[in-house]
Structure 1
Amino acid sequence: MAETLQSEIESLLTSAFAPSRLEVINDSAKHHGHAGDDGSGESHFTIVIESAAFTGKSRLDRQRMVNAALGDIPGQRVHAVAIRASAPGEN
């Protein structure tokens, strides 16, 4: 069986950041019938990630790091990815 996009995202982020917390939430059902819904059930995701790799990095730098780790997924294979990246000890 083919790997789901959600599990691929989890694998890529785990490899890149060794996160202390990682949640990949599939929000696609909330967007059913809206722009960007391709019918796959994997068009919109929220990523909550905590990693020491983000210590001292700006919010924008953190988002860039996550997007780089995901390669062609954001904007090409999924319509939208919301990212909440933090360093340990931050809220």
Structure 2
Amino acid sequence: MSVEMVEQIRQRLLQALAPVELEVLDEGYKHATHANAGKGHYHVHIISAAFAGQLPLKRHRLIYAALDGLMDNGIHALSIDAQAPEQ
């Protein structure tokens, strides 16, 4: 399921934010001792012009909006590195 979820995350972010760089990693292995161990922990590194002039909180909100319906329904935790191209 995690490979499928990584692809779902990728496709949604590609469509919503047209990134120039995008990497989605399944980091479930880092959470082996947590509740929900190994399930739904992802990291997103994304560079998009949509983030130009936006504060980090706004960037994260744009990502969460693109992933609406997946949060708590496949995604348990999401770490985000979101940048504008000029950064």
Q: Which runs of 5+ in 2 are unaligned?
A: none
Partner SS for 1:4: helix
Superposition TM-score, scaled by structure 1 size: 0.85
Distance (whole Å) between structure 1 residues aligned to residue 29 and residue 84 of structure 2: 29
| Number of residue pairs aligned between Structure 1 and Structure 2 | 85
Are the structure 2 counterparts of residues 14 and 42 from structure 1 closer, same or farther at C-alpha, using a change threshold of 3 Å? Answer: farther
- Is residue 5–residue 42 contact of structure 1 (8 Å, CA) maintained in 2? no
**How do 1:31-70 and structure 2 match up within 5 A?**
31-37=31-37, 41-70=38-67
RMSD in angstroms over aligned alpha carbons?
Answer: 1.4
Matched-pair identity in %: 38
Superposition TM-score, scaled by structure 2 size: 0.89
Deviation, 1:42, is 4.4
Q: Which runs of 5+ in 1 are unaligned?
A: none
Query: Which residue does the alignment assign to 2:80?
Result: 83
Distance (whole Å) between structure 2 residues aligned to residue 36 and residue 14 of structure 1: 28
